[in-house]
Every structure is written in C-alpha cells, then in structure tokens.
C-alpha cells in the first residue's frame, strides 16, 4: 500500500490517481483560506518554485473542518490561493480529513505518520494545543489531524516519510525536503 492507491478530485470534479505523481517527492497539506496559518501558502509556494524542477510537488487539499475556515466553493478556495499567494501548485477539491467522512488518503496518512505530540517549547504549538483543548478537544485525541496546514512528506515511491504539525513552518521543512531529493538523485 502507498499513496498511489488513492484517487482525488480536482476542483472541476475530475478524478485523478495519485499514481500520476510516481517518481516525485510530495508534500501533502490540508489547507484553509481563513486560518492564522494561511500565510504558510507563501513559503509553500517558495519551496515549490525552488524544488519543482527536482521532481517535487506540493498537493493542497482545502478543508472546512477546523473553525469553518474554508467556507467557500472549490473554485473560491483555488482562486484565493492563486490571487493572494500566487500559488501554482495543485489545489484539489475540498475534503474532510477527520471523522467518519475523512478522505481515505488522509486516513492512510494518519495511520502511516501518527501524531508525535506538540513541541511545547514552541509558543505557536502551545497556543494551538490550548485552543484545541478549549474549542475542539476531540481533535487532540490519537492521530487525528489537529488543524489546517498539517503537512506530510512523501518519498518518490509513495511512502510517508514524516508528518509536520500546523505550527511547523514550511521553511523548517526545507532541510528534510532537500535531503529526500538528494537521496532520490543518488538512487537513480
């Protein structure tokens, strides 16, 4: 089993297989337009521009499960990313990432890369944890996605390498992405 076993929908409703991304490293992110982490789109786009020629893709999945921060249509979610942050990486149809209607891809990602806890030394992580305790304690349980902008790094064979929580900034992932891409180059 790998992420290549899953299909996702484009905003226009067209279904594609993630096997279309075979041979590429991926960063899969659940996104939202009206979140305090939304500015991460800017740095995600920078990572995409820097590494896309090295067989790297970012796949964005809008989700409205956290504070209803992605209330619009699929088209509105995509337009927001493009207009406000110049996003050129693919943004797919809105999905759910937790609960009984969670997309099978995110069920798989959570199983392969369990929640490792919040870094309590990080002020943003501490605030996020306190907010979840207050507003959505059910998301704190187990391996559920905690909030928008949880990120999963996938290797060129479709295996989940690592999970990053919302407070982990895209710039903090660059070292891991560069190492993964360098190891890809050595293996080919």
Residue 187 CA to residue 69 CA, distance in Å, equals 41
**pLDDT given for residue 12 in this prediction:** 93
Contact 63, 94 (CB under 8 A): yes
Q: Which of 21, 19, 24, 88 is nearest to 60 (CA)?
A: 88
Per-residue 3-state assignment (H helix, E strand, C coil) for 3-17:
HHHCEEECCCCCEEE
Contact present, 163 and 113 (Cβ < 8 Å): yes
d(CA 144, CA 115): 7
Query: How is residue 41 written in tokens?
Result: 């789109």
Question: Among the options 35, 63, 95, 173, which is catalytic?
Answer: 35
CA distances in angstroms from 127 to 64, 122, 149, 170, listed in the order given: 20, 9, 15, 19
Delineate the domains of the chain, giving CATH numbers in brackets.
Answer: 3-182 (3.40.30.10)
What digits encode the pLDDT tens for the residues 117-168? 888 888 888 989 998 888 888 888 889 999 999 999 999 999 999 999 999 9
Beta bridge partners of 17: 7
pLDDT in tens, the chain (188 residues): 899 999 999 999 999 999 999 999 999 999 999 998 999 999 999 999 999 999 999 999 999 999 899 999 999 999 999 999 999 999 999 999 999 999 999 999 999 999 998 888 888 889 899 988 888 888 888 899 999 999 999 999 999 999 999 999 999 999 999 999 998 777 65
Residue ranges of alpha helices (H) inside 72-186 are 74-85, 104-112, 123-135, 137-140, 170-186
Largest Cα separation within the chain, whole Å, is 49
35 is catalytic: yes
Q: What is the pTM of this model?
A: 0.94
The pLDDT assigned to 172 comes to: 92
Q: Terminus-to-terminus CA distance in the chain, angstroms?
A: 22
């Amino acid at each position: 089993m790998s992420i290549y076993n899953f299909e996702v929908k484009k905003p226009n409703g067209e279904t594609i297989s993630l096997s279309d991304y075979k041979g590429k490293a991926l960063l899969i992110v659940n996104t939202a337009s009206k979140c305090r982490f939304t500015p991460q789109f800017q740095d995600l786009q920078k990572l995409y521009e820097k590494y896309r020629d090295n067989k790297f893709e970012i796949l964005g999945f809008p989700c409205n499960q956290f504070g209803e921060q992605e209330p619009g249509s699929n088209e509105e979610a995509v337009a927001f990313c493009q207009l406000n942050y110049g996003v050129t990486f693919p943004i797919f149809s809105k999905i759910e990432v937790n609960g009984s209607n969670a997309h099978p891809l995110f069920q798989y990602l959570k199983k392969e890369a369990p929640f490792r806890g919040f870094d309590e030394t990080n002020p943003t992580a501490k605030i996020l944890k306190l907010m979840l305790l207050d507003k959505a304690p059910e998301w704190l349980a187990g391996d559920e996605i905690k909030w928008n902008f949880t990120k999963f790094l996938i290797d060129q064979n479709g295996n989940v390498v690592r999970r990053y929580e919302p407070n982990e900034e895209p710039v903090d992932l660059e070292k891991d992405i560069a190492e993964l891409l360098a190891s890809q180059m050595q293996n080919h």
